[in-house]
């Protein structure tokens, strides 16, 4: 609880200082002022029957409807809506700190939570009226429930309920249904899964897995129904304004979101390459022990490294705004060499990210490894369905997966060295610099 209390104090102090003081600048503020706040106030005027068939946001309307009810009841200025809407992001990071704190010392739990909280776009959702904080709250809750030592039928039902709320806020997070299915397949107990890439058929015990798997699929059906309703209402995956041929190409700052982007998996692996080494530093001991215990384990980092490299060299990965490859790492890649429209930076980071991810997965239990890896595959697949491949969509997920792996691995050994904190601390400083630029720049 101490870690959660520390993060709550930090988040609330930062909210007051930023919302009522220095303010927040950059693309997130533009999005809030031109898309999210107008949508909230438009819904507030239309209550109790808002028009959901088209509006100025590319996500499902859950967050905006909640904030519209607040606006209708209290008629708040921008600062008031930011303060109330930002509590979703605060709750998300406080819950993470609490989850970390149940596995590791409170000071390490805070060190793991800070990089997630202070990363520019996650922090922005705590000080601006943006839906990202509410969406990440749902994602984090599902991951925390999925990684419980025992997942009962009632908890599967709770995960299904959270998924409905999640897709009401951001429809693309329907991918989290795969995490719930995976939990059902793994069964209710934290029994060790076969710790090899291809388990023997007899080890799978398929008959025992079928009932909880069927239940896990059943609890996700309401979320699919809700997303199907939005698809039918919009005649597509996003409101018509943001579809190909919609108004997005005529609205300043807007972007088309329909269409597959094959470069997104490379971005995800490259983000692991950028952030992962800071977290992997603290797991050198557990990783070495895992490699020593089973010689074949060395192939997992090598395999993941090759996959990351392949994902970065098969599709085009050079900076290209028209192709949805812009902002964040793509901007940095655009300033560095490319070969045949393949970014050298993205390829290098994706290869490093694969090695780091594969090595860190060795340090956690086989069941936790499957849950995190399955969630990562589902998340990356879903994000690839968006034409816009932006770091703002993937950074928080990558950071939380990395932090969870550290907490799970360290929690198994109960041996904490100073360098476990060093990596997240240094990364938090760098991310703070990016956030400070948006505060003061």
Distance CA(307)–CA(299), nearest Å, equals 12
Phi/psi region, residue 76 (left: phi>0; alpha: psi -120 to 50; beta: rest), is beta
- Predicted local distance difference test score (pLDDT) of residue 189: 60
For the residues 159-178, what does the mean pLDDT come to?
98
User: Could you read off the pLDDT of 33-59 as tens digits, one per residue?
Assistant: 999 999 999 999 999 999 999 999 999
How sure is the predictor about 197, in pLDDT bands with cuts at 50, 70 and 90?
very low
- Predicted local distance difference test score (pLDDT) of residue 193: 54
- Tell me the two tokens of residue 78: 């921008």
User: Could you read off the pLDDT of 388-397 as tens digits, one per residue?
Assistant: 999 999 999 9
The verdict on whether omega for the bond into residue 48 sits within 30 degrees of 0, i.e. cis, is: yes
User: Could you read off the pLDDT of 397-412 as tens digits, one per residue?
Assistant: 999 999 999 999 998 7
User: Could you read off the pLDDT of 57-113 as tens digits, one per residue?
Assistant: 999 999 999 999 999 999 999 999 999 999 999 999 999 999 999 999 999 999 999
Domain extent listing, the chain: 2-440
- Tell me the two tokens of residue 233: 């209402």
159 or 292, greater pLDDT? 159
Q: Which of 161-170, 237-246, 414-423 has the lowest mean pLDDT?
A: 414-423
For the residues 420-428, what does the mean pLDDT come to?
93
- Tell me the two tokens of residue 338: 């490319």
Cβ–Cβ < 8 Å for 227, 171: yes
272 or 419, greater pLDDT? 272
Contact residues for 115 (Cβ-Cβ < 8 A; gap 6+):
275, 278, 399, 403, 424, 427, 428, 431
- Predicted local distance difference test score (pLDDT) of residue 207: 77
How sure is the predictor about 259, in pLDDT bands with cuts at 50, 70 and 90?
confident
pLDDT score of 188 more than 80: no
Task: Please give the model's pTM, rounded to 2 decimal places.
Answer: 0.95
How sure is the predictor about 195, in pLDDT bands with cuts at 50, 70 and 90?
low
User: Could you read off the pLDDT of 321-376 as tens digits, one per residue?
Assistant: 999 999 999 999 999 999 999 999 999 999 999 999 999 999 999 889 999 999 99
pLDDT score of 198 more than 60: no
Quickly count: other Cβ atoms within 10 Å of residue 201's Cβ: 8
pLDDT score of 426 more than 70: yes
pLDDT score of 129 more than 90: yes
- Tell me the two tokens of residue 197: 């890439």
Q: Mean pLDDT for the chain? A: 92
Q: How buried is 323 (Cβ within 10 angstroms: 0-12 exposed, 13-18 middle, 19+ buried)?
A: buried
Contacts of the segment 76-82: beta carbons below 8 A, 24+ positions apart: 78/37, 78/129, 79/19, 79/20, 81/37, 81/40, 81/129, 82/19, 82/127, 82/128, 82/129
User: Could you read off the pLDDT of 203-243 as tens digits, one per residue?
Assistant: 567 778 889 999 999 999 999 999 999 999 999 999 999 98
User: Could you read off the pLDDT of 376-388 as tens digits, one per residue?
Assistant: 999 999 999 999 9
């Amino acid at each position: 609880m101490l870690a959660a209390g520390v993060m709550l104090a930090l988040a609330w102090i930062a909210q007051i200082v930023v919302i009522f003081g220095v303010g927040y600048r950059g693309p997130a503020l533009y999005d809030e002022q031109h898309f999210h706040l107008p949508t909230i106030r438009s819904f507030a005027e239309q209550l109790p029957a808002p028009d959901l068939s088209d509006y100025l946001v590319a996500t499902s309307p859950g967050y905006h409807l909640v904030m519209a009810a607040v606006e209708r009841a209290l008629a708040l200025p921008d600062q008031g809506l930011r303060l109330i809407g930002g509590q979703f992001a605060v709750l998300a990071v406080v819950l993470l700190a609490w989850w970390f704190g149940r596995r590791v010392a409170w000071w390490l739990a805070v060190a793991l939570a800070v990089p997630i909280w202070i990363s520019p776009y996650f922090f922005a959702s705590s000080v601006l009226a943006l839906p990202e904080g509410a969406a990440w709250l749902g994602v984090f809750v599902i991951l925390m429930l999925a990684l419980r030592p025992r997942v009962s039928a009632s908890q599967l039902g709770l995960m299904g309920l959270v998924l409905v709320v999640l897709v009401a806020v951001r429809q693309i997070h329907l991918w989290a249904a795969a995490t719930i299915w995976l939990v059902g397949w793994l069964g209710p107990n934290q029994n060790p899964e076969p710790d090899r890439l291809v388990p023997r058929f007899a080890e799978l015990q398929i008959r025992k897995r079928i009932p909880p798997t069927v239940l896990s699929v059943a609890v996700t059906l309401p979320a699919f129904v809700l997303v199907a309703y939005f698809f039918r209402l919009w005649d597509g995956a996003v409101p018509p304004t943001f579809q190909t041929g919609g108004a997005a190409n005529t609205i300043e700052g807007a972007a088309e979101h329909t269409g597959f982007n094959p470069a997104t998996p490379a971005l995800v692996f490259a983000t692991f390459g950028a952030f992962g080494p800071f977290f992997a530093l603290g797991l050198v001991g557990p990783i070495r022990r895992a490699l020593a215990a089973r010689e074949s384990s060395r192939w997992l980092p090598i395999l993941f490294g090759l996959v990351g490299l392949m994902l970065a060299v098969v599709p085009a990965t050079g900076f290209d705004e028209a192709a949805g490859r812009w902002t964040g790492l793509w901007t940095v890649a655009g300033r560095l060499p490319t070969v045949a429209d393949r970014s050298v930076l993205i390829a290098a980071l994706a290869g490093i990210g694969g090695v780091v991810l594969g090595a860190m997965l060795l340090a956690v239990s086989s069941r936790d490894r499957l849950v995190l890896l399955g969630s990562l595959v589902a998340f990356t697949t879903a994000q690839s369905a968006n034409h816009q491949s932006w770091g703002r969509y993937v950074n928080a997920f990558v950071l939380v997966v990395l932090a969870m792996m550290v907490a799970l691995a360290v929690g198994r050994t109960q041996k904490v060295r100073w360098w476990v904190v060093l990596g997240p601390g240094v990364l938090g400083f760098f991310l703070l610099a990016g956030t400070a630029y948006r505060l003061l720049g």
